[in-house]
């Protein structure tokens, strides 16, 4: 990728050198891409390089192996949301997850579309109930796109697709109430909204976050627990307090 101009979502930024920054952006057609932004730590660039913002990005590199130089122009700012505790926590976590989980340079168009939709929902919804279910679905999609998808189509114990209510932490497959009889405490609750659609109530959403969180920690974030999962813990705790 010697050169590329595209819109992209800012997912992560870290300082590099005295004045620069390395930004990792999710693009529609090329996946997650890093680039060095000269002056990325300046007062002018800090509001642009905020997680969740949409930018017009111009990557330039001499070779495919070289870290590209990157210039960015703000296309859509979500900076005001960073002043609101719940939206800020949702953006921080979803951006951190995306940056940590995805390999660089691999296209994930479905994930880009879902991630963009999730951020739009966080921005537009008057309350967290309007985007929390979308976050659970985004996490499920990310697991599936990376090869760790859950099988929620039929009961792993008895077969059939009726009355699915749990997920096996071992096989990541759904289990019906009849199939789970006597083993309920060893299984993860399967929120009905993940099967029937809709937003679900708060108890279902918290169960959904518990479900996806288990598999994200086990399969995706195994080497990045302390820093990345801390953002998720902050989000879940804020959601629990908000609905208590």
Q: Concatenate the DSSP letters of all residues of 4-42 into one string.
A: EEEEEEEEEEEEETTTEEEEEEEETTTEEEEEEETTTTS
Q: How far apart are CA 14 and CA 22, in angstroms?
A: 5
- Model pLDDT, residue 15: 87
Residue among 193, 182, 153, 188 at smallest CA distance from 170: 188
The whole model's pTM is what? Answer: 0.94
Instruction: Using the Cα atoms of residue 153, residue 177, residue 213 and residue 233 in order, give the sign of their dihedral.
Output: positive
- Model pLDDT, residue 152: 97
Q: How far apart are CA 173 and CA 203, in angstroms?
A: 21
- Model pLDDT, residue 198: 84
- Model pLDDT, residue 225: 62
- Model pLDDT, residue 227: 77
- Model pLDDT, residue 179: 96
| Number of C-beta neighbours around residue 220 at 10 A | 20
- Model pLDDT, residue 222: 84
The domains found in the chain, sorted by start residue, are 1-77 (2.40.50.140), 81-152+190-244 (no CATH)
Q: Confirm if 195 and 214 have CB atoms less than 8 A apart.
A: no
Digit-by-digit pLDDT tens for the chain (244 residues) are 678 999 999 999 998 878 899 999 999 999 999 999 999 889 899 999 999 999 999 999 887 778 999 999 999 999 999 999 999 999 999 999 999 999 999 999 999 999 999 999 999 998 898 999 999 999 999 999 999 999 999 999 999 999 999 999 999 999 999 999 999 999 999 999 999 888 889 999 999 999 999 999 999 998 766 678 889 999 999 998 888 7
- Model pLDDT, residue 226: 64
Residue in the block written with tokens 């017009």: 56
- Model pLDDT, residue 1: 60
């Amino acid at each position: 990728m010697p050169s590329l101009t595209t819109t992209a979502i800012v997912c992560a930024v870290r300082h590099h050198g005295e004045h620069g920054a390395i930004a990792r952006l999710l693009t529609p057609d090329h996946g997650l891409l890093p680039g060095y932004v000269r002056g990325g730590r300046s007062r002018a660039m800090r509001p642009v390089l905020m997680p969740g913002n949409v930018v017009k990005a111009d990557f330039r590199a001499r070779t495919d192996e070289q870290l590209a130089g990157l210039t960015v122009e703000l296309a859509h700012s979500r900076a005001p949301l960073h002043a609101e505790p719940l939206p800020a926590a949702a953006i921080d976590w979803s951006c951190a997850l995306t940056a940590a989980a995805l390999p660089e340079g691999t296209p994930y168009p479905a994930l880009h579309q879902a991630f963009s939709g999730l951020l739009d929902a966080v921005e537009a919804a008057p309350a967290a109930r309007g985007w929390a279910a979308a976050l659970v679905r985004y996490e499920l999609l990310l697991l599936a796109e990376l090869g760790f998808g859950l099988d929620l189509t039929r009961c792993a114990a008895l077969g059939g697709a009726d009355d699915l209510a749990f997920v096996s932490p071992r096989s990541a497959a759904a289990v019906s109430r009849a199939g789970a009889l006597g083993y309920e405490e060893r299984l993860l609750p399967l929120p009905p909204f993940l099967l029937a659609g809709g937003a679900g109530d708060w108890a279902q959403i918290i169960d959904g976050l518990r479900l996806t969180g288990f598999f994200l920690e086990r399969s995706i974030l195994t080497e990045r627990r302390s820093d990345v999962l801390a953002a998720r813990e902050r989000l879940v705790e804020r959601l629990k307090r908000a609905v208590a």
